[in-house]
Chains A and B, each alone.
Chain A
Amino acid sequence: DAGVIQSPRHEVTEMGQEVTLRCKPISGHDYLFWYRQTMMRGLELLIYFNNNVPIDDSGMPEDRFSAKMPNASFSTLKIQPSEPRDSAVYFCASSRSNQPQHFGDGTRLSIL
């Protein structure tokens, strides 16, 4: 079975550039989550969707961050403009209602 698929695996870009991270959840899962992991702050939930609708975005750091889920099989997390402090590993996870979350292998983002 295909798990959660994230792309790209690595992204290096310069400060001020727009960054788009992509996620394909597991088919049939109706919840999708975006997390960020850093050494200093650990794993933080940024936003989650239920049936493609954003439910809680209180973890999104600021207006430079936005997330969309246009359909059940695709979601994006966009940072515009990017800053060096956005450097982190970004994880996407999906789940069925009342089931554990399945995580992708993340996107390692470096902003120079």
Chain B
Amino acid sequence: LAKTTQPISMDSYEGQEVNITCSHNNIATNDYITWYQQFPSQGPRFIIQGYKTKVTNEVASLFIPADRKSSTLSLPRVSLSDTAVYYCLVGGWNAGNMLTFGGGTRLMVKP
């Protein structure tokens, strides 16, 4: 399973756009890129998933360059409630969606 590298922590202010970049140099051809969000005392929650180019949903956007060796999660106009740990994962759809979680990025949104 491809290893991921992402910043340990980030700070932002309410209303700003936040971009969290994840490196996955060893991503395999059949690997997807998935981002999860985790609040204290809760399980991780699926945010967005993509394979290449750009994916957007009601919560976030995911940008994936052509070489797929990195990806960027974009959170538009964050609020205090977006303070959480964000995990980037890569994995294929074989092996039952096995996921390897890295250390995640702890995002702190300040007023």
Q: Hey, which bits of chain A sit against chain B, CB under 8 A?
A: 4, 31, 35, 42-45, 48, 50, 55-56, 91, 93, 95, 97-106, 108
Chain B 28-52: CB-based contact to A (< 8 A → 1; otherwise 0): 0000001000000111111001000
A42 touches B104 (CB 8 A): yes
A42 touches B97 (CB 8 A): no
A4 touches B43 (CB 8 A): yes
Closest A residue by C-beta to B42: A105
Q: How far is the CB of A23 from chain B (nearest CB, A)?
A: 11
Does B99 sit within 8 A of A, measured CB to CB?
Answer: yes
Residues of B in contact (CB 8 Å), total 20
Does B100 sit within 8 A of A, measured CB to CB?
Answer: yes
Closest B residue by C-beta to A49: B96
| A43 to B96 CA separation, bound complex (whole angstroms) | 17
> DSSP class of B's interface residues: helix, strand, loop or mixed?
loop
A42 touches B43 (CB 8 A): no
Q: Determine the chain A residues whose CB is within 8 A of the CB of B41 once the complex forms.
A: 105-106, 108
Q: Determine the chain A residues whose CB is within 8 A of the CB of B42 once the complex forms.
A: 105-106
A48 touches B98 (CB 8 A): yes
| A10 to B104 CA separation, bound complex (whole angstroms) | 24
17 A-B residue pairs with Cβ-Cβ distance under 8 Å, sorted by A, are: A31-B97, A42-B101, A42-B102, A43-B44, A45-B99, A56-B95, A56-B96, A91-B43, A93-B43, A97-B96, A100-B49, A100-B97, A101-B97, A101-B99, A103-B45, A104-B43, A106-B42
| A106 to B34 CA separation, bound complex (whole angstroms) | 21
Closest A residue by C-beta to B92: A98
B46 touches A100 (CB 8 A): yes
B97 touches A95 (CB 8 A): yes
Q: How far is the CB of B60 from chain A (nearest CB, A)?
A: 14
Beyond A42-B101, A56-B95, A108-B41, 6 additional pairs, beta carbon < 8 A: A31-B97, A42-B103, A97-B96, A100-B97, A105-B42, A106-B41
